[in-house]
Amino acid sequence: MTHHAGLPYNLPLDFGSVRPPADNPFSTWDRADVVAGLRRLGLHAPVGRAMVYSNLGAALLGEALGSAWKTTYAEAIATHVFLPLGLRSTSLGLSGTPPSPQLAPAHANGKIIPHWTLLAFAPAGAVRSTAGDMALFMSSALGFSASPMHNAITETFKVQNEAEQFSSHIGLAWFIVEQHGKQFAWHGGATAGTQAWVGFDLTSRRGVTLLANSDQDVASLGLALLGAQAPRNLRQDPPVVPNATDYVGRYVVSPSQTFEITEKKGVLYMRKSEWRAAEPLRPVQGDRFAINLAPAEITFQRGPDGKVTAVVEDWAGSVHSASRELK
């Protein structure tokens, strides 16, 4: 799982036979929905190009693993992960399944809110665990216990690709960086009213797990406890483009569809007419850029005089060309 399959972050909220409720947005998407999503969105996905963090990709991988073991993802992870690691208090928050009475209530904005539940998207955020169970997991990962899972977990820490979206490398789902002569690996996640983060100093063989039943970020604390620095996040600290002003302008696909390219302190942003906000662009090569959080790239075209005249957008195989509006 390296998030280079070119799949989008999630399925569209109106995808499938039932629209998920706003307060539980993954609760109704089932296996049929993610398979249909793959058939529709995967056919022209820009595989291996820009990294796009994809919950849909995680859901599809979980379904594939369940199928490989001729069972469901929930049964596969319980049999092949939870049981061998001795995680007796770890489970999945599945739609239609009563929660454990020990489950801490979720909090957002200081108020108790319902927990999210998931179906086919369970691999992207349904695991519920305890500090004790996560200590067992970390002990196995670092080789401090005689665990049948140690070698398998070690394989997941091997670098597989670049994680350009987070200015790091990526193993099998773990984000990996080299800092201060040490190698760090981590992953975090959140659902409404909960936060979780697991990180390792693989060189010194130390680990940190943070589980919180609130919407307050825990990743910064986790990195600080490990002695690691947060890598640049494309949304929070996008890269500067030396010739950014070359691209600034309004690009017209049709009277109802436009691209607006803006620049601020050397950073390029793109906003489509149907978007609420602009997204930063990451340089890929020359006049080619990746769009943050999207399975898409744009390539600017230049005229004989070297000035930018148009932009071509490739959004998961759907290509549109837009001419630069003359002032």
For residue 313, the tally of other CB atoms under 10 A from its CB is 20
Q: What is the pLDDT of residue 42?
A: 81
Q: Do domains 31-226 and 244-324 have the same CATH topology?
A: no
Please report, as a single letter, which amino acid is at residue 129.
S
> Domain ranges in the chain?
31-226, 244-324
For Cα atoms 41, 45, 51, give the angle at the middle one, nearest 5 degrees.
115
For residue 54, the tally of other CB atoms under 10 A from its CB is 24
User: Can you tell me the distance from the alpha carbon of 1 to that of 11, in angstroms, rounded to the nearest whole number?
Assistant: 18
CATH domain 244-324 topology: Lipocalin (2.40.128)
Say which DSSP state 204 is in: T
**Segments of the chain with pLDDT less than 70:** 13-14, 50, 232-236, 293, 295, 316-317, 327
| Helical spans, DSSP H, in 143-263 | 150-156, 219-226
182-227 residue pLDDT tens: 999 999 999 989 999 999 999 999 999 999 999 988 999 999 999 9
Looking at 3.40.710.10, 3.20.20.70, 2.40.160.100, 3.40.50.300, the CATH number of the domain 31-226 comes to 3.40.710.10
Q: What is the pLDDT of residue 177?
A: 93
User: Can you tell me the distance from the alpha carbon of 45 to that of 22, in angstroms, rounded to the nearest whole number?
Assistant: 27
Q: What is the pLDDT of residue 210?
A: 97
Q: What is the pLDDT of residue 234?
A: 59
